[in-house]
Amino acid sequence: MKNKCKIRIALIFFAIAAIAALYFVLLYQPSVEITIYNDNPNNNTENNSTNKESADNNSAKESTEETDRQLILDKWKGKDISQVKTDKKAIALTFDGGANADGVERILSILKDNGIKGTFFLTGQFIEKYPDKTKLILESGGEVGNHSYSHPYFTKLTDKEIKTELERTESGFSKLNATFQPFFRFPYGDRNEETISKINEDGYIAIRWTVDSLGWKGASGGMTKESVENRVISKTAPGAIILMHLGTNPDDKTQLDSDALPEIISGLKSQGYDFVTITEILASWNN
């Protein structure tokens, strides 16, 4: 019994000693500092440099665009451009978007097949009602301009109402992150010196047209595919700006502009014409 008591006492002392040793180790263990090493010490510098370069590029692009816009405005303010004075056989196909978007995809397909970039004048209501079609237009690589918000007669508006019409359309473009040109087409061609001066003041130049296809009149208005073709081809001359529409006639739903477009393009190509944007045709103006 005595031996068993001695063994138990020894085990108790051993356990106490082990616990005390463990406590000592935990109590006096030095803190461990963890350092994460970057195996490429240049990463931060490169990232900062890339970000700065990207910001600088964006800033430079915006500055260039603003400069270009101002140059265009300074050169063409006060004018109502219906045809460009040029020796080149260059013409611009332009399309207004307002009432509906029924012909958008077909027109874009025809332009793409022929390697042509159009210029599109869109109303703010068109942009709001047909955002997907508007995106297709933007992705086509052509140019877009302002055609007012609600397509009113501008000579009947106050200066404040004109500004609102322009800004509401600009807002629609901005929501789609779209870049638009400083080009404005008056609804119905309704303009005078005062309204031209006002849109110049608001950052736009006036783009009219040389020939209106009249396809918007539709079959119910006495037009046919053939009459649209003949009208455009016969009235086109170097520097011409051709007006067509993206929609169908609201009454009879005919799409005479898109129907006639392939033959118009082939007919004018056979006469040696090149198709350009408004920016490009303005650049060809003979001073």
In terms of Cβ atoms closer than 10 Å to its own Cβ (0-12, 13-18, 19+), residue 127 is: buried
Of 279 and 18, the one with more pLDDT = 279
* Integer Cα distance of 271 and 274 in angstroms: 9
Give yes or no for a contact between 220 and 251, defined as CB atoms under 8 angstroms apart.
yes
pLDDT, position 286: 79
pLDDT, position 69: 79
Catalytic entry in 96, 102, 212, 257: 96
- % of the chain with per-residue pLDDT over 70: 76
113 classed as catalytic:
no
* Integer Cα distance of 227 and 216 in angstroms: 12
User: Lowest mean pLDDT: which of 14-28, 66-80, 203-217?
Assistant: 14-28
151 classed as catalytic:
no
For residue 16, name the pLDDT band (cuts at 50, 70, 90): low
Sign of the alpha-carbon torsion through 113, 114, 115, 120: negative
- Report whether pLDDT(8) > 90: no
Domains in the chain (CATH in brackets) are: 81-283 (3.20.20.370)
Alpha-carbon distance values, 219 to 36, 98, 173, 253, 258 (Å): 76, 19, 33, 9, 13
Catalytic entry in 68, 245, 257, 274: 245
Q: Each residue of 87-131: pLDDT tens digit?
A: 899 999 999 999 899 999 999 999 999 999 999 999 999 999 999
Structure tokens at 193: 């010196």
In the chain, what are the helix, strand and coil shares in percent, each to the nearest 5?
Answer: 55, 10, 35
Q: Each residue of 23-47: pLDDT tens digit?
A: 444 444 443 332 333 344 444 545 5
DSSP label of 271: T
Q: Each residue of 205-229: pLDDT tens digit?
A: 999 999 999 999 999 999 999 999 9
For 209-256, give the secondary structure using H, E and C.
CCEECCHHHCHHHCCCHHHHHHHHHHHCCCCEEEEEECCCCCCCCCCH
